[in-house]
Amino acid sequence: MKILVLGSGAREHAIITSLLSERAGHEITAAPGNAGIAADVPTVALDANDPEVVAGYALDHDIELVVIGPEAPLVAGVADAVRTRGIPTFGPGQQAAQLEGSKAFAKRIMDAAGVPTGRAVQATSLLEAEQALDAFGAPYVVKADGLAAGKGVLVTHDREAAVAHASRWLTQGGVLVEEFLEGKEVSLFFLSDGHTVLPLTPAQDYKRLGDGDTGPNTGGMGAYSPLPWLAEDAVDEITATVAEPTVRQLAEEQTPFIGLLYCGLIVTPKGIRVIEFNARFGDPETQVVLPRLATPLSALLFAAATGALAGVPRPEFRADAAVTLVLASEGYPEAPVTGRPLTGLDAAAAVEGAHVLHAATGADAASGALIATGGRVLSVVALGDSFGEARSRAYEAMGRIGLEGGQYRTDIAARV
């Protein structure tokens, strides 16, 4: 199959790695990709957020499946433009992508569908935000209503910090003030063709920058899968109470959700609650979910894109434990230092059971050497018969990589 994968992160590298592992002769192109992806498949420098550019490229090159990785192209309507040309597309249309693009839209859909979630107040002024903060009390939870690259959520006991966060994001739209939910977090992905949903396997990510869940929120600093502590019937419960009602509600509103529904959940003393929805594969959870997938990924993506999930068996997963560690640049997330050389990647990939997925990497214009070009630079992924083995391999591999000022957490999956 001729497949176009849009995106340039470790998530897209994980998707491409999974597709290549099928050894099915797929012709895969990535746009725009990164240095690591370019070493595996051809890349093309097109604007992945431009609907007409992407649709034109897919038509001109006889693409049979377009897989949209990041959220920005979805919110920009890229899936609509490609799908209307008759090309199977894995990714929701612009309206359905508002599940991620607007926290207020997501809350409305959850309310209409009867999906269990926390209480929230949409604020369009600082006064409304402060009133909601005082009504809910500490810990305070403030979320930017729109896309914020994983940096729009603040959870804090500091009221002044909460007010400042609300003030910042109010200049770019509304904010949501939510009640604080306490418990263990779960990320669960669902494939959807607009009507049928199929669950993948649960994972847990680490959003705080530092060990012990300290420091600022990030796009994610690591993850692991499966979740031994999660109840055996939890996936079925989430399917029935969260994914199916949400997809059904969107279908009733004539905005079918076709693609990957990311459910960010928390297991509270009162039951499972939704923290957030995303409209695409999560990063870094994808890096630990896809290496455990035994069912061919291409068949699942194509079935979702063509409305054929009802005839597809539930995806199967290997028993291996998977751990991923994210290497970030100095100064991340506020002001990452870029342009520094990366070393030791071949040595890291030589560790048994480990591999490296690139995110913000590129080639130095003068020397051609590999350099870091952004905040989250790469993911080290390792599999093992146990979490102890997977963690050991992951940290051994990470220890072989050199990046001046590079930072990563040392406690990923330590408590499993």
- pLDDT tens-digit profile of 105-161? 999 999 999 999 988 888 889 999 999 999 999 999 998 887 766 668 888 999 999
Amino acid occupying residue 313: P
Residue 103 binned pLDDT confidence (cut-offs 50, 70, 90): confident
Is residue 401 scored above 70 in pLDDT? Answer: yes
pLDDT of residue 312: 97
* Mean pLDDT, rounded, for 329-353: 97
Question: Cβ(372)–Cβ(345) under 8 Å?
Answer: no
Residue 306 binned pLDDT confidence (cut-offs 50, 70, 90): very high
Structure tokens at 76: 């920009």
pLDDT of residue 150: 60
Q: What is the per-residue burial (b if ≥16 Cβ within 10 Å, else e) of 267-298?
A: beeeebbbbbbbbbbbbbbbbbbbbbbeebbb
Is residue 50 scored above 70 in pLDDT? Answer: yes
Question: Cβ(285)–Cβ(254) under 8 Å?
Answer: no
DSSP state of 343: B
* Mean pLDDT, rounded, for 202-211: 97
* Mean pLDDT, rounded, for 325-352: 97
- The backbone torsions φ and ψ at residue 338, rounded to the nearest 5 degrees and listed phi first, read -115, 170
pTM of the model: 0.93
Stretch among 144-148, 178-182, 215-219, 265-269 having the lowest mean pLDDT? 144-148
pLDDT of residue 148: 64
> How would you classify the pairing of strands 2-7 and 27-32?
parallel
Is residue 313 scored above 80 in pLDDT? Answer: yes
Q: Which residue is listed with tokens 């497949």? A: 3
pLDDT of residue 149: 60
Percent of the chain exceeding pLDDT 70 equals 99
pLDDT of residue 53: 98
Average of per-residue pLDDT values in the chain: 95
pLDDT of residue 104: 86
Dist. CA 264–CA 167, nearest whole Å = 25
Q: DSSP readout, 267-285? A: EETTEEEEEEEESS--TTT
Residue 254 binned pLDDT confidence (cut-offs 50, 70, 90): very high
* Mean pLDDT, rounded, for 320-332: 98
* Mean pLDDT, rounded, for 194-199: 98
* Mean pLDDT, rounded, for 220-232: 97
Is residue 171 scored above 70 in pLDDT? Answer: yes
Stretch among 58-72, 114-128, 323-337 having the lowest mean pLDDT? 114-128
pLDDT of residue 151: 66
Domains of the chain and CATH, by start? 2-90 (3.40.50.20), 120-178 (3.30.1490.20), 182-311 (3.30.470.20), 321-399 (3.90.600.10)
